[in-house]
Chains A and B, each alone.
Chain A
């Protein structure tokens, strides 16, 4: 059942997926947020009839179009990569995972791609109101597409609404609404989408600030900043709340991820939150290079317990508790889970053999045992652990998770303050004098991208080794192909995406330099 695992293949396949996902995520958040900002601007144009708003709308639309195209280019790879590089995964959970992808295509992609044509080419072909509707529908389509793909991703982090069918050797959906409305999916969607809104807000303010520094297009820049700052304040506050809910969800469903991004090795009651910390390169445990000590840390007592369980004194398990087990607080050791996973696998194998030998009676008995709720609860829930050969495989990259999480959260709070200042200065009419702030605004753009990427690193690196939490590790999900084939395609995509990214940036910079035109830019 389990064949020789080529770790180099797994790592290259992961690298390729990470590469394509991270490139895709360079473009998507801006699409998500800018679409809404543009729709708000065009609404102001239609409401007020002020052509300045049309000029503003069209300028941001130009940048949106450039960004959208490359987002589409990087997106197609991701969808098909589930099949090309994770084919075992595609069968094992395709019954559940495929549905949101198909629905995304049918409803969201078509909405986006149909109405984007009206948005760009329809100015003189349809009425103002129809055009505005098309712009809102494009924005809505983008967010809808995010919903479905995030429902799919959330399901991988917290698989619900399904059961395992030993006959077909796969997981099958039994409750669609549980998949769609799983709290993990809701928080993930809200948190991710608002992160895109925040990034777009920072982007609009940053670029508008450049115009103000150059003393060009002052009215355009001020108006853009007001819209982006109001939008940004609302989004960034909401982002913080959804982040908090997401963290609680992770503490419940993915305690190892939670411990990793908090750098919590030994659990405790009333656990403190490390607000800031630097890890040393010293290993605390020679058997595991992931477990590094802190050289310096600023810890706020009890906060972590509250964050995870809404109880100041709750016990939060650390990495060691999750690996070695902690009887007092009811955490099973990793070795025990691995054993139980192997028991579940052995029973499945025995069932398959009985089927192959046409021993229907034995097969029926084994199936009944396998499907017994107690067996499901106590053994099958650890099925994925059966693939693991070493308990330390269960620990994700702690420094990467820790730093990414802290960078993301720190910047998230920074953006709230940033938007407030932007709005304050804009309303006071003092933006042009605040040249340091304007410069900071430009530098905030890369920070928004950094925070955005860090968020996905937390989500995806933090859940390693799992593709589907507790059910399937990456080693079992990967397509069996030569690692050199994946290396080749990795570099192929790395080169083409990098070339396209350079092209995109050059075109963007040039369009920004050209600036808004009364007629609406180069389009």
Chain B
């Protein structure tokens, strides 16, 4: 079925998959957001144990999605993998570091003889939650604002600043995206607690956190979005890469489906927040989560489709990466496209397991039951 697709169609297909993975990842950062709220929402050790356990059953999805995002990017757009990871070294190493310390923390936190102590592992969870989200958001911000690299005749990357990617924080628009992801993750984390923990106090405090984080989220996100739609963008055609006025706004106008997705996404997030605050509903996570997926999906799409350079070089415009010059070969994309047909099966069993494991809200009694593997 992929045999007849053109090279460009496959490149677009893979950009859509990458966008979807990125979108799912941002939704799943409710785990990270929740980790930063452990002490704010959990006031007693028992409450914190419930919070850690409800996140602990999901953290691997977020982690695995990140790893798969990396793997899929490598397979479909290897030049991005080589250029960004090798070039923006410090940013990626920092992100990795904050995910390494997360991976052990759930399992080790309450185990006797855990050497570093419970507080350290909780601090690891906090650091992962805060820096993991901010740094990834900031790094993705460079998709819209460019990065300081050039490529030689072997397509090998040269980074043009000694800061190796850390200079991305000097562009406020990048940071605004980082902070948006951070506050959104906290909103989603609090919504997830409301949905999965059976405790009146947790519910009340989570609700408060939804409000407290929704405000800064909306401020930075709207700034990010409006600035994005008004700024110049990096376009390309057969002649090369060039700056186009209102490129991202134009993309939305020229790809109305994407504009609708973005709109639906933003409305979904707002609705999820609103039902949690106003209607005392605990299903805000599903609306806000679905909205997050749509919003991020749409943002990724306008970063790479419609003749847009998705990883622009602010140093040497013509070295900017596009889905056409950074992709794998036609053959590899075809092979990978067949592999992608397995994704619905994967999503189906994840969905089934999620339902089976979350059928009943977590409560204190369950934490006492050793068969439940309390963290």
Contacts and interface: CB of A to CB of B under 8 A. Distances in A.
Given A94-B74, A507-B111, A520 B371 contact: yes
A66 B107 contact: yes
Interface residues of A, number: 90
Contacts of B331: 172-174
B329 A121 contact: no
Given A76-B103, A173-B335, A98 B153 contact: no
A479 B106 CA distance: 34
A94 B155 contact: no
B339 A479 contact: no
Contact of B114 (A92, A94, A169, A507): A507
Contacts of A73: 99-104
A191 B237 CA distance: 50
Interface string B244-277: 0000000000000000000000000000000000
Contact of A105 (B61, B64, B156): B64
Interface in B314-337: 328-329, 331-332, 335-336
A110 B64 contact: yes
Interface stretch (B88-96, B197-205, B228-236, B281-289): B88-96
Nearest to A514: B112
A95 B329 contact: yes
A116 B331 CA distance: 34
A387 B79 CA distance: 22
Interface stretch (B140-148, B168-176, B182-190, B343-351): B343-351
Contacts of A219: none
Interface residues of B, number: 77
Contact of B339 (A103, A509, A510): A103
Most buried by A among B89, B90, B164, B369: B89
A122 B66 CA distance: 25
Contacts of B162: 482
A72 interface: yes
A212 interface: no
Interface string A414-458: 000000000000000000000000000000000000000000000
Contact of A87 (B68, B87, B90): B87
Given A121-B57, A479-B157, A79 B71 contact: yes
A485 B164 contact: yes
B370 interface: yes
B330 to A, nearest CB: 9
A511 B108 CA distance: 12
Nearest to B112: A510
A26 to B, nearest CB: 13
Interface string A487-523: 0010010001001101110110111001001011111
A106 B21 CA distance: 11
Contacts of B63: 72, 76, 113
Contacts of B108: 66, 69, 503-504, 507
A196 to B, nearest CB: 20
Interface of B: 57, 60-61, 63-64, 66-68, 70-72, 74-76, 78-79, 81-87, 89-90, 92-93, 96-97, 99-104, 106-108, 111-116, 153-159, 162, 164, 328-329, 331-332, 335-336, 339-340, 342-343, 346, 349-350, 353, 356-357, 359-360, 369-374
Interface of A: 1, 65-66, 68-70, 72-77, 79-80, 82-92, 94-99, 101-107, 109-111, 113-118, 120-126, 165, 168-170, 172-174, 176, 349, 352, 356, 479-482, 485, 489, 492, 496, 499-500, 502-504, 506-507, 509-511, 514, 517, 519-523
14 contacts: A69-B108, A80-B85, A83-B81, A84-B89, A86-B86, A89-B82, A95-B328, A99-B328, A99-B332, A123-B371, A169-B153, A480-B158, A506-B114, A507-B108
Query: Which 6 A-B residue pairings sit nearest by Cβ, starting from the closest?
Result: A87-B86, A94-B78, A83-B85, A105-B68, A98-B75, A73-B103
